[in-house]
A and B are shown apart, each in its own frame.
Chain A
Amino acid sequence: MTLLKVDKLSKIFGGLTALDAVSLSIEDGEIHGLMGANGAGKTTLFSIIAGNQRPSSGTVHFAGARIDRLRPDQICRKGIARTFQIVRPFAGLTVRDNVETAMLFGQTEALSPRERDRLIGSILGECGLDGLADRVASSLTLSARKRLEVARALATGPRLLLLDEVMAGLTPTEVTDMIAALKRVKDNHGLTILIIEHVMSALNQMSDRITVLHRGQLIAEGTPEDIARNPQVAEAYFGVDDSELEGRP
């Protein structure tokens, strides 16, 4: 079953086309990787799916219903949660209060205080934040802040989780831990995940399928093996094509 369907989505900032008629389907239960060089439009795609930005044209459907006209809080309550590439913790609140706020507003049915406590405990455990519950978010390391982004997103009770470079800036051991944690989280919560990552090995290890964006356009889609063998992808990442060389002095 298709959980998320993005259809001919475009976003234009002034003269810059950040997304150019991108179409994409995410199947229920998969981990779908999203890659592309800096400025490819990955974060913009997330912002539109989550309702933080309006598309210039095109549509987004989630679980059969159109969502591209909804507000972010409505989309959240429909079951989509995103993390921010540049983390946005509630800096003055404790880790627990950060997570509890997400739980109070993202969840569609109200939980009793006892259920909340239990769920917060288990989410903090899953994200490796057990010992940090009473720490003020502004005092956390980058790695812990990234994990807080994930914990808060999880606390809203999503079906689809959008992860924007949650491994960027982490050490190799932290990356390994994060991959393991994400796989656990996916199984425990029955999630579908769309994940942006520059760390290609991490994407290959996790993803069922990968989509590649380049300058706002979708240039490839397939299994990690397909993507690794795709010449266009190699060119977009490592090569420079002729048309671009011609334009230079």
Chain B
Amino acid sequence: MATDRNRQAMRRILLPLLLTLAGAALLYGGGLRAGPYWQVVALTLAMWIALIQSWSIFSGLTGYVSLGHAVAYGLGAYLMATQFRDYPVWVLIPAGGALAGLFALIVAIPVLRIRGPYFVILTFGLAELVKFALLRLETALGASSRLLFGAPGTTTLLAWMVALAAAATLLRHFVGLSRFGRGLIAIREDETAAETLGVPVTRFKVLAFALSAVIPGMVGAVMALRSTYFEVLQVFSPTISFTIVTMAIIGGSGDARGPVLGALFLVGLSELLRGASPQLYLILLGLCLIAFVLFAPNGLSGLLDRRRK
């Protein structure tokens, strides 16, 4: 019994912790050594891992698919772009996370009353609403695009991004193991049964939604530094939300491995093909998506489990 529990602690706590740290070290160290091109690839990979893991804290665990996570990313980027001259970066990155989390908290209360497919459409609609409202605001302010002068270099940003990816991965893993996560999973499996058995479903959904927006806000703040250029339409782009969902489907969102696999797969595919043939990339992407939805609904991580059994 005791050794059983030790082995379980090893498998659930120590191993994921070590793997995440090793992965982060590899990504950062490898990126540093491999030169500027690979640094950008490593940065992109870390960005998607951070975004999908965060998304999965809410959508993977509760089953409510959010198509609005670009807003969290965008708010963080917006804060960075507007405040960069006045505050240090290490203040603005966490502040971007806080802003995104706070916004999600406020939005969640009305939005999460909706169950089922309407929820997906609502998150998408809200994201578009925020985008165009901000566009109006920026036009009124006469700031249709903003430049950031003197942003930190790629290696600094890579360090930030890898740290965010690791944090998001650990957060996703440990939330999944916690009592909170067990409640979110119960909501995914059957919301009515969950609340009848004592899960405070509304509070949990709202908290998970807010929590899942924090790191994307920080990611957005870092990415604003990376592009040194801010434009509402580009940053609040629905493509970001769609890509998160695509990678989550391909990798699987049932555990913390899936988002890593999904990001690796898509970033890899895009590196191989995008330069040579962007159309081929998109065609393959579509085919992969269909194949996974039909034949491997639990994604690459689900396939790994199936092989083991």
Contacts and interface: CB of A to CB of B under 8 A. Distances in A.
Contacts of A81: 196-197
A33 interface: no
Interface in A100-117: 100-102, 104-107, 113
B35 interface: no
B163 interface: no
Given A101-B182, A101-B186, A104-B182, A88 B199 contact: no
A93 B185 contact: yes
A77 B198 contact: yes
Nearest to A137: B189
B201 interface: yes
A71 B195 contact: yes
Contacts of A71: 195, 200
B60 to A, nearest CB: 13
Interface residues of A, number: 30
B196 A113 contact: no
Given A101-B186, A104-B179, A88 B192 contact: yes
B270 to A, nearest CB: 32
Contact of A113 (B5, B190, B192, B201): B5
A90 B186 contact: yes
B272 interface: no
A76 B197 contact: yes
B80 to A, nearest CB: 39
A95 interface: no
B193 interface: yes
Interface string A76-95: 11000110100011111100
Contacts of B262: none
Interface string B175-191: 00001001101101110
B190 A91 contact: yes
Given A104-B179, A104-B182, A105-B183, A152 B197 contact: yes
A167 interface: no
Give me the 5 closest cross-chain CB pairs, A-B, nearest first: A105-B198, A90-B189, A106-B198, A88-B193, A76-B198
Interface of B: 5, 179, 182-183, 185-186, 188-190, 192-201
8 contacts: A52-B195, A72-B195, A73-B200, A81-B197, A90-B186, A90-B193, A101-B182, A102-B198
